[in-house]
Amino acid sequence: MKLLIIEDHPKIRNNLIEFFSIKWYTAEGAIHGEEALSMLHAHYDIIILDMNMPIMDGRTFIDRIRTSGDQTPVIVLTSNSLLDDKITMFDLGADDYVVKPFEMKELEARVIALSRRREKSIENIVSFGEYSIDISRKIFKKWESIIDLSHKEYGIIEYLARNLGYPKSKMEILEAVWWMREAELAMDSVTLEAHISTIRKKLWKSIITTLKWTWYLIS
């Protein structure tokens, strides 16, 4: 498991890196949020984040990565145990928190628990090339950037992704996404074609292949 530890206090940061390295984790450190942002291309499994840091604090860092669509789990290290502050951290996008001072074993237990939750959520993710769909959260992404789709556009992408590699007819898609009866389907194929055209424009690249004018698949 690969961890990014963002902590401006050298002793705490080094102790954390040493502790997790001994436990066979890959642990890397950053002094503040701005430095950490430049390291995210390395793709970490969990981020351990101090809230009070110079240059870029923890709140700004979480806001930046969540706004960009990065959903890497974050455990916050905080010296504040007030309920309102804990709620604020969760509202910002943190996944868990540990109040300073803390025992290393408690932090490790939270890392393990968060990792298990993440592994379960990955089961709800369908990936194809640079694209992925988080079915449980209804999010469609290219790499780590969220692509803004309407409800019906997302429905089309999810249905085709669930049937990856298998062509689906216009009738099947309309029935699955629009819940139409067979008598209504033929009349509304133009609507489906318009939605697929919009999806293609948003992606700048066609991942939906048309076969014989009436069948579609993600390829």
Better pLDDT: 178 or 49: 49
Q: State the pLDDT at residue 32.
A: 95
Structure tokens at 37: 């942002």
User: In the predicted model, what is the mean pLDDT of the chain?
Assistant: 85
CATH class of 2-122: alpha beta
Task: Render pLDDT for 94-114 as a digit per residue (tens, 0 to 9).
Answer: 888 899 888 999 999 999 988
Q: What is the pLDDT of residues 114-158, one digit of tens each?
A: 888 776 655 678 888 888 888 877 889 988 889 998 888 888 998
CATH number for the domain running over 126-218? 1.10.10.10
pLDDT digits (tens, 9 = 90+) for 174-194: 888 876 554 455 556 778 888
The whole-number average pLDDT for the span 25-33 is 94
pLDDT for position 181: 52
What is the pLDDT, as a whole number, of residue 144? Answer: 82
Q: What is the pTM of this model?
A: 0.58
Question: What are the sequence ranges of the domains in the chain?
Answer: 2-122, 126-218
Stronger pLDDT, 136 or 21, i.e. the higher one:
21
pLDDT band at 60 (very low <50, low <70, confident <90, very high): very high
